[in-house]
Amino acid sequence: MKKLDDRWSEDLIPHLGGKTAIVTGANSGLGFEISKVLAHHGARVVMACRDSSKADAAAEKIMRTNPEGEVVVKHLDLSSLDSVTRFSSNFLKTEGGLHMLINNAGLMAINENRTADGFEMQFGVNYLGHFALTSILMPLLLSTPQSRVVSISSSAHKFGRMEFDDLMYEKRRYSRWGAYGQSKLAILLFILELNRRLGPQSSTKALAAHPGVAHTKLGQNGGGILALGFYLSAPLIAHSAYQGALPALRAAADPHVQGGQYFGPHHSLWGSPAINAPSARAGNSEDARRLWAISEELIGMRFPVL
């Protein structure tokens, strides 16, 4: 197996002509940068966004840079399982393959809120909506050679805890950061279990990534002093959204990666994309199996991977 080089950069992305990618939350921040880079390397990118007008403007901005590939805007609201089902069903009817599913969209440290289906909003959008999206699209991913699922976590997963008896903060006092950390830990447990179920011989790979400290719009709608402080200080302490997107791009496009790997900045918060070590809780296979079973029950469908 080729040793992965920690000095990886966009220049090492191969030509992606003929490949199709879905990027959720693609109208700004990491999702915009990921979409732009993939399109410039020849991919057809479906920008799956809740706000179609902002997504249209972002797509036009990318197309003005004359990429080799193209971008297409589709509506997707991850806070609604009906929206996830409509988007996925339409995609399956109209597309012949899916090479990259990049589960990027997310919320950070927001005030307490509920999804259309009654789930705690950060758990519902950051994790459960993407779990449902991946589940419905999995047959197409499995039939597409060398396809990948890349889910975006965060260093915040390290303080996250899976409170299986109260995932939705119905019994305990709501914590903006606690809910955020739980959702990001759930993402890594999902990738751990998906990778296990796919097995080492599968052509489809499941990977995760995190951006380190990146200057994006994440947090601007958050509540509390910490979220506001993070957003206001980001221009001073963070690297760019483009640099924050590189770990996900490596997971999606580096031909030498292996299923189950977790990419982030080389120095944890800053630097070129390299393999990172998740927390011990993110490697808890028993929790991963338990979360999988609960997630299937919550979305009301079986995930089509044994």
pLDDT digits (tens, 9 = 90+) for 47-80: 999 999 999 999 999 999 999 999 999 999 999 9
pLDDT digits (tens, 9 = 90+) for 217-226: 555 555 555 5
DSSP string computed for the chain: -PPPPTT--GGGPPP-TT-EEEEETTTSHHHHHHHHHHHHTT-EEEEEES-HHHHHHHHHHHHTT--SSEEEEEE--TT-HHHHHHHHHHHHHH-S--SEEEE-----SPPS-B-TTS-BHHIIIIIIHHHHHHHHHHHHHHHSTT-EEEEE--GGGGG----TT-TTSSSS---HHHHHHHHHHHHHHHHHHHHHHH-TT-SSEEEEE--SSB-SSTTTT--HHHHHHHHHHHHHH-B-HHHHHHHHHHHHH-TT--TT-EEEETTSSSSSEEE-PPPTGGG-HHHHHHHHHHHHHHHTS--S--
In a domain, 8, yes or no: no
Across the range 31-50, mean pLDDT stands at 98
In a domain, 7, yes or no: no
In a domain, 6, yes or no: no
Contact by Cβ (8 Å): 245, 265: no
Residue 229 — pLDDT band, cuts 50, 70, 90?
low
Name the catalytic one among 127, 169, 174, 180: 180
What is the SS3 assignment for 42-94?
Answer: CCEEEEEECCHHHHHHHHHHHHCCCCCCEEEEEECCCCCHHHHHHHHHHHHHH
Q: Look up the CATH number of the domain holding residue 128.
A: 3.40.50.720
pLDDT confidence of residue 305: 82
Residue type, 268: S
pLDDT digits (tens, 9 = 90+) for 261-289: 999 998 667 678 999 999 999 999 999 99
Candidates 183, 239, 193; CA nearest to 214 is 239
Residue 1 — pLDDT band, cuts 50, 70, 90?
very low
* Averaged confidence pLDDT in the chain: 92
Distance CA 102, CA 127 (A): 13
In a domain, 173, yes or no: yes
pLDDT digits (tens, 9 = 90+) for 232-247: 555 655 678 999 999 9
Say what angle helices 285-299 and 129-143 make with each other, to 10 degrees.
100
Across the range 34-38, mean pLDDT stands at 98
The answer to whether residue 2 scores a pLDDT higher than 90 is: no
pLDDT digits (tens, 9 = 90+) for 151-197: 999 999 999 999 999 999 999 999 999 999 999 999 999 999 999 99
Distance CA 137, CA 135 (A): 6
Contact by Cβ (8 Å): 266, 6: yes
Q: Is 127 a catalytic residue?
A: no
Q: Look up the domain containing 228 and give its range.
A: 15-299
pLDDT confidence of residue 71: 98
In a domain, 186, yes or no: yes
Chain centroid to Cα 202, Å, comes to: 21
In a domain, 178, yes or no: yes
What is the tally of structural domains in the chain?
Answer: 1
Distance CA 77, CA 60 (A): 21
In a domain, 306, yes or no: no
In a domain, 21, yes or no: yes
Q: What is the dihedral of CA 63, 65, 68, 73, to 10 degrees?
A: -20
Residue 121 — pLDDT band, cuts 50, 70, 90?
very high
Backbone angles phi, psi at 152, to 5 degrees: -95, 115
Residue 157 CB contacts under 8 Å (≥ 6 apart), including other chains: 181, 184, 185, 187, 188, 210, 278, 279, 281, 282
